[in-house]
């Protein structure tokens, strides 16, 4: 075998090797992406066994005019103001602690970082960036007051009784 032929053979060998390296790296990239997607899909649960976002607050007559009622279990307030009934989330807009209604002060206060709110949810003071979230409340066919905790209202909405 002459030297030139040998060199040519070497060059072909080299480019073949490079092609295999590219193939290997490429398939590793594909496998890596697939594993990432697979992993994400696996880790994100498809079915949640969490309480239903819709909670039954009972008959609207339970809430007399001018009252603020906190339901600890569902984490909501039912307020009966002059314009009607409305529901607010009791979860603080700062970092998610459960706020509490202080009847002696007439305010809502958060135990974690001291945010304070008025009964209409607007902020008095504290680190909370937004007022308390208003939730969609409606009367069911059975006449019960239902509150949908998954739906934040952009505008105030009252239930008239």
Partner 1 sequence: MANSLETYFANLRDTRVWRSVFRSGTGATNLHRALAVQQNVFLHLSSVKIRKRSLAFPVTWFLGTLSLGVFAILVVTGIPLMFYYHPSVPQAYADMNDLRFVVSAGVFLRNLHRWSAHAMVLLVFAHMFKVFYRGAYRPPREFNWVVGVVLLLLTLFLSYTGYLLPWDQLAFWAITVGSNLISAVPLLGARIRFLLLGGNTVNANALLRFYVLHCVILPLAAALFVAVHFWRIRKDGGIYSGEKPNHE
Binding site for partner 1 (CB under 8 A): 40, 43-45, 48-50, 95-97, 112
Nearest distance from C-beta of residue 56 to partner 1, angstroms: 19
- The CB-of-88 to partner 1 minimum distance in angstroms stands at 18
Residue closer to partner 1 by CB (options 59, 113) is: 113
| Chain-centroid distance, C-alpha 19 | 48
* CA-based nearest residue to 106, from 95, 121, 118: 118
Which candidate, 131, 141, 144, 138, places its Cα nearest to that of 160? 138
Nearer to partner 1, 135 or 159 (CB): 135
Closest C-alpha to 117, from 87, 90, 84:
90
Q: Rounded CA gap, 16 and 8, in Å? A: 12
Minimum Å gap between C-beta 95 and partner 1 is 4
Minimum distance from CB of 50 to partner 1 (Å)?
A: 6
DSSP at 59 = -
Nearer to partner 1, 1 or 44 (CB): 44
Q: Based on the number of CB atoms within 10 Å of its own CB, is 131 exposed (0-12), middle (13-18) or buried (19 or more)?
A: middle
Between residues 45 and 64, which has the closer beta carbon with respect to partner 1?
A: 45
User: Residue 92 or residue 137: which is nearer to partner 1 going by CB?
Assistant: 92
Residues 157, 136 contacting (CB under 8 angstroms):
yes
Q: How far is the CB of 134 from partner 1 (least distance, A)?
A: 19
Contact 133, 121 (CB under 8 A): yes
């Amino acid at each position: 075998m002459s030297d030139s032929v040998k060199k040519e053979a070497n060059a072909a060998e080299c480019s073949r090797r490079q092609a295999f390296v590219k193939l290997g790296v490429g398939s590793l990239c594909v496998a890596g992406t697939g594993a990432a997607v697979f992993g994400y899909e696996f880790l994100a649960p498809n079915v949640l066994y969490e309480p239903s976002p819709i909670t039954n607050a009972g008959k609207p007559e339970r809430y007399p005019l001018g009252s603020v009622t906190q339901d600890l279990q569902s984490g909501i307030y039912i307020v009966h103001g002059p314009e009607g009934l409305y529901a607010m989330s009791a979860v603080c807009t700062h970092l998610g602690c459960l706020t509490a209604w202080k009847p002696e002060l007439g305010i809502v206060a958060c135990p974690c970082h001291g945010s304070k709110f008025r009964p209409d949810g607007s902020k008095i003071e504290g680190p909370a960036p937004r007022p308390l979230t208003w939730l969609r409340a409606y009367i069911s066919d059975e006449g019960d007051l239902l509150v949908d905790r998954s739906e934040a209202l952009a505008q105030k909405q009252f239930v008239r009784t």
